[in-house]
């Protein structure tokens, strides 16, 4: 094997199998890489253990990159089903069932092809919270986008506005029985800002409830998958 200096090009071959570690002409150190080291590092990456270690995994035991990918897929499908169920009543049952099984479906996607990954109630909780947050954000974004299109492009928000007006007038009528109610409060309830605040509070409450529900079902799903794995190992 011949070797030349990278700086001056001097031939540094001492024999057929060895080369100089320093250039005797300019003194540049010569770095060599063992073929065994190269093949060993490639083999370590090609093994299943090396592939699993390549994913970002925290001390919690969750491989976050495939976890977020699985949660995003399930959340997108669930958000689209629930959005379409507003117009298509036939999809309401399917969207409701998907909502109930969101965390369990996410865990199934997460463990697909990775049976050695850790799974317990803590991992299930983290996956449930992740898919709950993603689905809440997607639902709010889709509802806001569809409301914008319906109001400003299709001009089809009349029934919704009538329903909100009716609910606000009923609330004002109930408060009207309270003595010495300032007129400014009644005017505030009839303002567009009050309607926007009511919708934002409703969206926040629904998002928190959905995230908590997915967290609970994630705990149940983690327990079920852990029990199933233990029964198979026995």
203 in a domain, yes or no?
Answer: yes
Mean pLDDT of 1-28: 66
- Tell whether 191 is covered by a domain: yes
Q: Is residue 45 part of a domain?
A: no
Q: DSSP alpha helices (H): ranges in 11-120?
A: 35-46, 48-54, 64-84, 92-100, 102-111
56 found inside a domain: no
Average pLDDT of span 113-127: 86
Q: Is residue 227 part of a domain?
A: yes
What is the per-residue pLDDT across 52-101, written as a single tens digit (0 to 9) for each? 444 455 556 788 889 999 999 999 988 888 778 777 777 778 888 888 89
Mean pLDDT value of segment 212-225: 92
The pTM for the full model equals: 0.65
Tell whether 106 is covered by a domain: yes
User: pLDDT-derived band of residue 10, with 50, 70 and 90 as boundaries?
Assistant: confident
Locate tokens 């983290």: which residue?
126
Gap between the Cα atoms of 130 and 134, Å rounded: 6
At residue 69, the pLDDT reads 92
Phi, psi of 47 (to 5 degrees): -75, 155
Q: What is the count of structural domains for the chain?
A: 1
Point out the least confidently predicted range of 164-173, 197-206, 209-218: 164-173
- Return the higher-pLDDT residue of 144 and 108: 108
Residue 102 lies in a domain: yes
Residue with tokens 């001056």: 8
Q: Write the DSSP assignment of 64-94 as a string of letters.
A: HHHHHHHHHHHHHHHHHHHHHTTT-GGGHHH
Residue numbers of the domain that contains 67: 62-233
- pLDDT greater than 50 at residue 27: yes
pLDDT, tens digit (0-9, with 9 covering 90-100), for 145-160: 877 787 787 777 777 7
Indicate whether 7 belongs to any domain: no
């Amino acid at each position: 094997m011949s070797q030349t200096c990278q700086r001056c090009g001097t031939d540094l071959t001492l024999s057929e199998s060895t080369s100089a570690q320093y250039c005797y002409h300019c003194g540049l150190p010569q770095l060599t890489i063992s073929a065994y080291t190269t093949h060993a590092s490639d083999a370590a990456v090609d093994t299943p253990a090396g592939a699993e270690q390549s994913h970002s995994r925290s001390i919690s035991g969750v491989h976050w990159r495939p976890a977020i990918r699985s949660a995003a897929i399930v959340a997108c499908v669930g958000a689209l089903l629930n959005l379409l169920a507003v117009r298509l009543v036939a999809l309401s049952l399917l969207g409701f069932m998907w909502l109930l099984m969101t965390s369990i479906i996410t865990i199934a996607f997460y463990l697909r092809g990775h049976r050695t990954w850790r799974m317990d109630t803590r991992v299930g909780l983290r996956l449930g919270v992740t898919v709950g947050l993603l689905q809440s954000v997607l639902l709010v974004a889709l509802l806001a986008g569809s409301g914008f299109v319906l109001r400003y492009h299709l001009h089809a928000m009349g029934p919704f506005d009538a329903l909100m007006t009716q609910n606000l007038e009923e609330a004002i009528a109930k408060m009207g029985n309270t003595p010495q109610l300032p007129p400014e409060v009644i005017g505030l309830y009839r303002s567009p800002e009050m309607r926007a605040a009511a919708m934002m509070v409703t969206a926040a409450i629904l998002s928190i409830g959905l995230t908590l529900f997915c967290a609970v079902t994630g705990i149940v799903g983690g327990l079920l998958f852990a029990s199933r794995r233990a029964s198979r190992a026995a």
